[in-house]
Structure 1
């Protein structure tokens, strides 16, 4: 199963190829995507992305995870969260969201087992 391409990104709006709904923030993995609702885990810009935000995507058999920190990189990614991902044997890349989407799409296009979580504002 391939990772779906992110078809478009603008402030507060993301579209994933093959998905009828659009997202503000989203999670993607080989074969699927869904909204990333920060309220599920109590995430905020600081302290940032929690391991609980990533567990669902990590369970999808990915080799690499791309994290988009927002347009202005306001979303923090603590070292403890990066350590959590690496302990699962998954490579992680943290980038400004536009760069993160470009990197994710490049990897997905190459057939990599890549997942991502993307914040589309701040």
Structure 2
């Protein structure tokens, strides 16, 4: 199963191939995507992305996880999240969201098992 392409990104809106939904923030993995609701884990811009935010994507067997930190990179990433990913042998890229989408799509086009969590505002 391949990772779906992110077909468009703009402030507050993301479209993922294979989904009719428009996401504000989203999670993607080989074969799927869904809205990333920060309320599920109590995530805030600071301290940022927690291990619980990426666990679902990790469970899909990804080799690389791309984190989109927002258009202005306001979303931080906890060191414990990076450690969690490294402990599972997963390469992590943390980038401004538009750059993150380009990196994710390039890896997906190469057939990599790539996943991501993306914040489309701030």
TM-score, normalization by structure 2: 0.99
Runs of 4+ in structure 1 deviating by more than 6 angstroms, as ranges, are none
1:11-61 per-position Cα deviation (integer Å, ceiling 9, x unaligned): 000000110111000000000000000000000000000000000000001
Report deviation, 1:104. Answer: 0.1
1:1-122 maps to which residues of 2 (within 5 A)? 1-122=1-122
Q: Provide the rounded CA distance (Å) in 2 between the counterparts of 1:121 and 1:60.
A: 26
Q: How many residues are aligned here?
A: 122
- Give 3-state SS (helix, strand or coil) of 2:107's partner: helix
Distance in 1 (alpha carbons) for counterparts of 2:105 and 2:56: 20
Q: Unpaired runs of 5+ in structure 1?
A: none
Shift of 1:101: 0.2
Deviation at 1:80, TM superposition (A): 1.4
Residue 77 of structure 1 deviates from its aligned partner by 0.5
